[in-house]
Amino acid sequence: MGPGMAEKTRNPLAQALGLVLQQMRDKMGGVSSSEIAASLGLAASHYRMIEAGSALLQPARAIKVVQTFDTLEFVPLCQVLVCIQIMDGARSSAADMRILADVLTEANPGMAPVFDRFDEVWRVLDNASTSELGKAIAADGIDDALYEFLTTEPVTLGADQMDHFMAPTYQHPLSEQLYSQIGNILQGLAPFYLDTVLQLIDNLRDITPRVTPEELARWEAAHKSRIRYIIGIVRKPEIILDVETFDYSFLWEDDFRRMFVMYRDDPQALDGSVYDKIVGCLRRKYEAERVRYERVLAVFDSTVREKLAVRSGRDVREGIDGLLLHRDMPMNNLWFYFMASGYVVPFIDDAQPGRTSVSPYGTSLDYDETCQKLVQLREVCGDIGFTF
C-alpha cells in the first residue's frame, strides 16, 4: 500500500454526519456555518471542515450539538461520534474500515440501518474524492438513514430487559421498545392516575375503533411528520386515481421514504398505466396552482420516481383477497403506516370509488391481526418482487 493511501481513504461516517449537519442547518433558515460554530465554541473554519467530513466532531461537544440542533438525540449522537472515532483509526484501507463497521454493527445493532447502506461506499472509498464520496453517500441514502437514527429517541432498557429485547419487525410491530416507552411514561404517574390509566387501557381492549375517511385524514395530518412508509392494498385502482381526495402530499415530506400501492382489479376504461395516470393528474393539479406548489414542481419528477410505486396484483389476487378479509368480511382497502418509532398502524375499510349513498366502514386492526396481516403482506409483496 502506497504512502498516500491513508490520505485518500476518508472516513465515510464522518462525511455522512457532516452532510446531515449541513442539511439540518439549511432547514434552520439562513443560519450560517459561522453562527453554528460560535454556538459550539469552535472556529468557523474548523466547523466547515466538520461539515465537509475533513475534521472530526469530538464527543465532548455532544451536549452543545444537541442544544444547537434541537431535533438531534443525545445518546444516538454520542454513539455515532464514538463510531467515527473508532473508524478513524482504520483509515488505511476501505477493507479495514468495512471490517470495523461490521464489528461496530454487532456491538450496536441500532446502527445496522446506517451501515447496511455502505456497500457502494466501500467499493469506491479508497480512490474517491470528497465530492465523489459525497455523491455515493447521498445516492445510497446514507445521510437519510443517519438522520433518522440521530433524531429517533432511544429506548432505555434495564439489564434484566436486555435478554428479552425484541427489535421492531414486520411480525411484531408493537415491540418491546414500545412497551418500554409506555412503561417510562407510566413511571411518572401517581398510583391513583396509574390505576385509572390501566383500567382505561383494559376497557379499550374489546372495543373496535370505527374510523371514517375523515377521521383517518385527520389522523394522517396529525402524524404526518412521523410516518415513514405507506403500503396500500386496494381492490379497485380507481380509489387512488382521484388526486383531489387521495392524499399524495406525503411524497414531499422530507422524512417520508416511500409509498407503495398494489391494486387487485384491472382498471376500467383507462389508457396507459395506473401509475402514469396518477402522475399525470398530480402534475396537472400542481401546475394549475404553480405559485402555491412551486417547491413541489421543482422536484416533482425525481420525487415521484423515488417515492411512489404502483403495481398490479392480478397475479396474486388470492393473496390480496386474504389481506382484504377482516373477521371473515371482505373489505376493499388496507393501509399500513410504518412510523418513525418502529411500529405499524393499519387501517382497513370498505370504501368504493364513486359510492356516496352509504358511509364506508373502516377500522384499525388489533395487535394480533396486525401481525398476521404483516406476515401475509410480506409474502404477497415478495411474490411480485417487492420487498420492504
Which residue in 311, 347, 345 sits closest to 331, CA to CA?
A: 347
Say yes or no to pLDDT of 98 above 70.
Answer: yes
Cα 85 from Cα 58, distance rounded (Å): 8
- In which band, very low, low, confident or very high, does the pLDDT at 333 lie, cut at 50, 70 and 90? very high
Instruction: Taking residues 177-206, report their average pLDDT.
Output: 66
Q: What pLDDT is attached to residue 170? A: 44
Cα 205 from Cα 370, distance rounded (Å): 14
Cα 246 from Cα 263, distance rounded (Å): 15
- In which band, very low, low, confident or very high, does the pLDDT at 247 lie, cut at 50, 70 and 90? confident
User: What are the sequence ranges of the domains in the chain?
Assistant: 5-151, 172-203, 213-383
Region of poorest pLDDT, from 7-16, 66-75, 114-123, 133-142: 7-16
Instruction: Taking residues 89-115, report their average pLDDT.
Output: 85
Q: φ, ψ for residue 278 (rounded to 5)?
A: -60, -50
Q: What pLDDT is attached to residue 107? A: 81
Q: What pLDDT is attached to residue 12? A: 92
Q: What pLDDT is attached to residue 349? A: 92
Alpha-helical runs (H) found in 41-125: 44-52, 62-68, 74-88, 94-107, 112-115, 119-124
Contact 13, 76 (CB under 8 A): no
DSSP helix/strand/coil, 251 = helix
Residues 6+ apart with CB under 8 A from 178: 168, 341, 342, 343
26-65 pLDDT, tens per residue?
A: 888 878 999 999 999 999 999 999 999 889 999 888 899 9
**H or E element that contains 338:** strand 333-339
- In which band, very low, low, confident or very high, does the pLDDT at 93 lie, cut at 50, 70 and 90? confident
Cα 73 from Cα 67, distance rounded (Å): 10
Name the grid cell of 355.
359510492
Q: What pLDDT is attached to residue 210? A: 78
Region of poorest pLDDT, from 172-176, 193-197, 200-204: 172-176
Cα 207 from Cα 210, distance rounded (Å): 9
- Sign, CA torsion 159/164/169/173: negative
Q: Determine the CATH number of domain 213-383.
A: 3.30.870
